[in-house]
């Protein structure tokens, strides 16, 4: 199969690239490296079945590309620190970038389009756990809006191409994902807590630490994305992909501190505006439609992630 992955040098995109190369597919990635890194795909660069195109999805000339079996659109800054640093890029990549990708899919008659959306479309949710039918509770003018509304717009664009032109689209609402290849300083909670624990620095909990997230290991997520792309007769579907194992940030800090044998102290810091109080996916739809279930426990996933950070950065 021929696969296109935008954002393929990022955290999730690099795992997806490896997944498809390991299956014997031909993989093209488009990445401008704004938040990703060549390190994540270094071992693929010499392969004749792997093509790295260092370009921006909002400006690239798509006419040089072949028809693809699957187009995954993952390009977008994703961590709160990154999208607050690049708010216009985030809006444009999810808005105009998504439009250009969909136009390309239509023109090239590529077979399936997967949009990497996010649990952030639910905002600070009033429905718990979050089901796909929930419209969300999002502040359209807050500091997270460039990302949340960017992704909501990308979803609207994707569904409009599906309804108007019959493009074979699928939307993944991805919940917090973690694992090797996360950037050590992009500010996400798992990488922060691991780096702080391994270096003996204070573990920074924002707010009271009672807010929750549900963490999915990256190999489970990648398997889910591929099932979403390849399952027949689910055009136009919107599916949550995440692990429903919900934890508070206080609990996560204590688990990582114990697993690393760290003596770091816990330091409470101010929390940013609109930080969601809780988040947990309802994955009934993914189980039923994709026969997908996350398999990697938080303990096992953290163990693998801590080993990666220890080896690479300590
Ligand atoms: P990441 O920042 O590691 O990867 C994103 C990649 O996109 C980077 O390599 C970056 O350089 C590239 N990129 C950004 N803008 C671009 C542009 N205009 N043109 C070309 N390349 C561009 O983030 P990630 O965690 O791997 O997330 C991948 C996707 O999954 C994102 O769309 C994100 O919104 C979504 N997602 C991730 C999570 C998560 O927990 N990691 C959760 C929900 C949704
Ligand atoms: N968080 C924290 N300490 C950190 C980084 C994050 O307490 O050093 C909190 C953050 O306030 C949020 C949760 O952890 O409530 C998840 O943050 P992350 O940036 O990883 O993801 P998102 O907010 O996008 O779900």
308 is catalytic: no
Ligand 1: does its nearest atom lie under 6 Å from the Cβ of 36?
A: yes
Q: pLDDT at position 141, please? A: 98
Ligand 2: does its nearest atom lie under 6 Å from the Cβ of 228?
A: no
Q: pLDDT at position 161, please? A: 98
Provide mean pLDDT across the span 305-310.
98
Between CA 118 and CA 10 the distance in angstroms is 16
Is the pTM for the entire model greater than 0.75? yes
Q: pLDDT at position 94, please? A: 98
Between CA 105 and CA 161 the distance in angstroms is 10
Provide mean pLDDT across the span 55-77.
98
Q: pLDDT at position 70, please? A: 99
Sequence-separated (6 or more) residues with CB below 8 Å from residue 36: 7, 8, 9, 10, 11, 13, 14
198 pLDDT tier (thresholds 50, 70, 90): very high
Sequence-separated (6 or more) residues with CB below 8 Å from residue 51: 26, 27, 28, 29
User: What's the Cα-to-Cα distance from 221 to each of 15, 52, 163, 169, 204, rounded to whole Å?
Assistant: 10, 22, 27, 18, 27
Q: pLDDT at position 210, please? A: 98
Which one, of 272, 282, 86, 312, lies nearest residue 189 by Cα?
272
Ligand 2: does its nearest atom lie under 6 Å from the Cβ of 196?
A: no
Between CA 295 and CA 142 the distance in angstroms is 35
Specify whether the CB–CB gap between 1 and 26 falls below 8 A.
yes
Report residue 262: phi and psi, to 5°: -85, 150
Sequence-separated (6 or more) residues with CB below 8 Å from residue 81: 186, 187
Going by CA atoms, what residue is nearest to atom 10 of ligand 2? 206
Specify whether the CB–CB gap between 206 and 257 falls below 8 A.
no
Q: pLDDT at position 28, please? A: 98
DSSP 76: S
Q: Express each pLDDT in 19-36 by its tens digit.
A: 999 999 999 999 999 999
DSSP 2: E
What residues does 4 pair with on adjacent strands? 28, 71
Closest-lying ligand 2 atom to the alpha carbon of residue 205: 7
Q: What is the dihedral of CA 305, 306, 310, 313, to 10 degrees?
A: 60
Mean pLDDT computed over every residue of the chain: 98
Provide mean pLDDT across the span 73-91.
97
Ligand 1: does its nearest atom lie under 6 Å from the Cβ of 93?
A: yes
Q: Which of 72, 147, 178, 217 is catalytic?
A: 147
Report how far ligand 2's centroid is from the alpha carbon of 276 (Å). Answer: 9
Give the number of whichever ligand sits closest to the CA of residue 174. 1
Report how far ligand 2's centroid is from the alpha carbon of 265 (Å). Answer: 18
| Percent of the chain's residues with pLDDT above 70 | 100
Angle between helices 298-313 and 249-260 (to 10 degrees): 60
Ligand 1: does its nearest atom lie under 6 Å from the Cβ of 78?
A: yes
């Amino acid at each position: 199969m021929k696969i296109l992955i935008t954002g393929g040098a990022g955290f999730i995109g690099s795992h997806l690239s490896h997944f498809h190369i390991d299956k014997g597919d031909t993989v093209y990635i488009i990445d401008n490296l704004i938040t990703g890194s060549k390190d994540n795909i270094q071992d693929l660069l010499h392969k004749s079945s792997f093509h790295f195109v260092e370009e921006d999805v909002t400006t690239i000339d798509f006419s040089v590309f072949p028809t693809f079996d699957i187009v995954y659109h993952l390009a977008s800054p994703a961590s709160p620190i990154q999208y607050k640093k690049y708010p216009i890029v985030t809006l444009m990549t999810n808005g105009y970038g998504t439009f250009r990708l969909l136009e390309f899919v239509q023109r090239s008659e590529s077979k399936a389009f997967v949009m990497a959306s996010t649990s952030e479309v639910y905002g600070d949710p009033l429905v718990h756990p979050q089901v796909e039918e929930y419209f969300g509770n999002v502040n359209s003018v807050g500091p997270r809006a460039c990302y949340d509304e960017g992704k909501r717009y990308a979803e609207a664009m994707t569904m409009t191409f599906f309804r108007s032109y019959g493009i074979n689209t699928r939307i993944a609402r991805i919940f917090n994902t973690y694992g090797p290849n996360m950037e050590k300083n992009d500010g996400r909670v798992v990488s922060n807590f691991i780096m702080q624990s391994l270096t003996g620095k204070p573990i920074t909990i924002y707010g009271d630490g009672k807010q929750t997230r549900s963490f999915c290991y990256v190999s489970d997520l990648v398997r889910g994305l591929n099932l979403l792309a390849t399952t027949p007769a689910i055009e136009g579907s919107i599916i949550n992909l995440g692990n429903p194992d919900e934890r508070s940030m206080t609990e996560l800090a204590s688990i990582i501190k114990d697993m690393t044998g760290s003596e770091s102290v816990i330091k409470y810091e101010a929390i940013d505006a609109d930080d969601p109080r809780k988040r947990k996916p309802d994955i009934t739809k993914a189980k039923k439609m994709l026969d997908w279930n996350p398999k990697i426990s938080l303990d096992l996933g953290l163990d693998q992630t801590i080993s990666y950070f220890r080896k690479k950065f300590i």
